[in-house]
């Protein structure tokens, strides 16, 4: 995917019942009739019944489709109409070695005062942070002493499964102290 490829979604299923959804031919005809000055070099494809994806290949073509909508006439005599917006889809990011990392044993001693941002900094030694670390909750919504985040492990370093760590933490009384302890680290593939 080049840097200027952009996809737009045209979703008729949000507005119409299954029996009124347009075919590929009717949807592309409605697009051509109602979108003024549409780009000629686009890919128009059906994702599934009633949902269509338009792909543009340049920044100029992308700008032509932004904030546009398609008017579709339906019913036995084409007397009803619906206006469907073209929604710009976010670009997908692909990672070389994305993993979910979970830190356990953070509830022991002063390690419970370690901030999530400190765990982010710790993991930057191993790769790029995809999603920041947050407290994990069990099935009842209670904190379970674990922190979980997503990291793209690209620096080629191996993470030990049980590791001694040192963090400077701020205690409840406002003083700063060096917290030393063991972390148990779980690494799971990220889809």
Q: What is the pLDDT of residue 156?
A: 87
Q: What is the pLDDT of residue 4?
A: 75
Q: What is the pLDDT of residue 1?
A: 46
Q: Which residues, at least 6 apart from 170, have a Cβ–Cβ distance to it below 8 Å?
A: 113, 176
Q: What would the two tokens of residue 108 be?
A: 């022991």
| pLDDT interval class at 91 (50, 70, 90) | confident
| pLDDT interval class at 191 (50, 70, 90) | low
Provide the mean pLDDT of the chain: 90
Is the pLDDT confidence value at 92 over 80? no
Q: Using one digit for the tens of pLDDT, what is the confidence trace for 28-77?
A: 999 999 998 888 889 999 999 999 999 999 888 989 999 999 999 998 88
Q: What is the pLDDT of residue 145?
A: 84
């Amino acid at each position: 995917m080049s840097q200027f490829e952009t996809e737009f979604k045209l979703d008729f299923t949000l507005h119409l019942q299954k029996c009124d959804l347009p075919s590929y031919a009717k949807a592309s005809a409605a697009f051509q009739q109602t979108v003024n000055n549409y780009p000629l070099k686009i890919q128009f494809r059906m994702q599934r019944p009633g949902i269509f994806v338009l792909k543009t290949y340049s920044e100029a073509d992308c700008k032509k489709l932004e904030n546009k909508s398609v008017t579709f006439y339906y019913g036995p005599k084409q007397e009803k109409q619906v206006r469907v917006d073209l929604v710009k889809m976010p670009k997908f990011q692909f990672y070389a070695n994305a993993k979910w990392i979970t830190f356990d044993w953070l509830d022991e001693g002063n390690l419970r005062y370690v901030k999530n941002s400190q765990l982010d900094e710790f993991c930057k030694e191993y790769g790029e942070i995809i999603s920041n670390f947050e407290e994990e909750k069990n099935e009842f919504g209670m904190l379970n002493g674990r922190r979980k985040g997503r990291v793209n492990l690209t620096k080629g370093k191996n993470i030990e499964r049980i590791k001694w760590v040192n963090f400077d933490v701020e205690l409840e009384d406002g003083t700063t102290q060096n917290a030393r302890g063991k972390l148990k680290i779980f690494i799971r593939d990220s889809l």
